Structure 1
Amino acid sequence: MGPYGGHVGFVHVLAPDVVKEIVSGVASATTMGAMTVASDAHLLSLDDWRARGEDNGARVELQEGVLIVAPRPTAAHARMAFSLATQLADQIPDGFEVLPEVDVIVDPRTPATVRSPDVILRSTAADDSAITPDQVVLAVEVISPGSRRTDRVTKRSEYEDVGIAHYWIVAEDRTLTALDLTPAGYVETTFTGQFVVSSPWELHISLDG
């Protein structure tokens, strides 16, 4: 294996000293899909994640110890996420807040999983030192090219397993899938245009323009 490592399945396995170089390079990408990066020595722990240094503008998550590195969102993606965050912030009760792109520690055990939803809703009384699933009232993901399976399948399963009560997925065609947690798992409802959801509270949402 050369200095740039090899491949295992679809996961790029690189020598540790190359990881930061890859993260830096992906930061300038605009069209490529998400890339997975793992250390040749081991899958990453939560401590490894916290010690990784600057991401240089790339969007980075951790999935079962593997770094998932993606370009920054497109303008359309950012516009939709901002619109939803603004609409939520205008309607939620006192004592709650809307936060964009913060790290949520989905699983602290090694190999760790850390996600960065486009938007989360949580209590203002929650601990700022580490955001955990029990703090998250609602997580929102806006699908980007290359993220469809991750958002619809992988993150859905992760968020359901750790008890995130409400998960919204917004597709490229401006369709919102609202997932509400029940004892049997997530129950799915689909919305378009302008609509009202009843949970976590009554919220008037518009996906138009």
Structure 2
Amino acid sequence: MSLPLSASWPGHLLDLAQWDALPEDTSRQIELAEGVLQVAPKPILLHQRIVMRLAARLDDAADGRWEAFPGVEIVIEDAPAATVRAPDVVLVRPDISVTVPRWTASEVLAAIEVLSPGSRRLDRIVKLHEYADAGIPTYLVVDPGPPVELTEFELVDGAYRQVALHRGAAELRLGVTLDLDALT
């Protein structure tokens, strides 16, 4: 998507079809929240390193239970004012189609966000509630620190409950052990 810097465009709330019709823009990170474009600068290199290493380690440890994908879109709400998010990493069942442009939240086993200076509130508060409302069973938030911390949330009765705060070696409820310091 190559978007003008004018605040007046597109000037209305977007649905999923209108979102799809926007031109591609790889210079920024763009999500759709209740029909409104949210634009952020591309993440810094440390953020990208953590995402790459985290996705690789989770994919390697999956034992056929899931596949890990970085930066793919998921539809949180397909409504006249749609919400489409692009978590830093998502885990999906290995038998799910990879030929679709994006997945629905019901197809996602876990969403993982790595905090950046401009995303801390969005990732810790807004997305926490959006992903829970959408029914994503597990939400992980990585704070690059130092020290690197991983907060693990589990969906219980429609809301996330924090089940662990990890530093160093993280033994996740997903059955995976991660060396958090090795992510940076």
* TM-score, length of structure 2 as denominator length: 0.89
**1:39 corresponds to:** 10
**2:127 corresponds to:** 155
8 Å contact from structure 1 (residues 118, 141) kept in 2 = yes
Of structures 1 and 2, the one with the larger relative CO (CA 8 A, separation 6+) is 2
**1:8 corresponds to:** none
**1:58 corresponds to:** 28
SS in 1 for 2:32: strand
Q: Which runs of 5+ in 1 are unaligned?
A: 1-18, 24-35
Residues 184 and 132 from structure 1, CA distance in 2 versus in 1: closer, same or farther, beyond 3 angstroms?
closer
Which whole-Å CA distance do the structure 2 matches of 1:207 and 1:167 have between them? Answer: 16
8 Å contact from structure 2 (residues 30, 40) kept in 1 = yes
> What's the % identity of the aligned pairs?
36
Deviations 1:18-72 (A, max 9, x none): x72239xxxxxxxxxxxx88632x2111111000011133111001111111111
Which whole-Å CA distance do the structure 2 matches of 1:171 and 1:193 have between them? Answer: 12
Larger Rg: 1
Which whole-Å CA distance do the structure 2 matches of 1:56 and 1:198 have between them? Answer: 34
**1:10 corresponds to:** none
**2:143 corresponds to:** 171
RMSD: 1.8
Which whole-Å CA distance do the structure 2 matches of 1:22 and 1:56 have between them? Answer: 15
* TM-score, length of structure 1 as denominator length: 0.79
**1:194 corresponds to:** 169
8 Å contact from structure 1 (residues 137, 165) kept in 2 = yes
Matched residue pairs, number? 176
Which whole-Å CA distance do the structure 1 matches of 2:15 and 2:158 have between them? Answer: 31
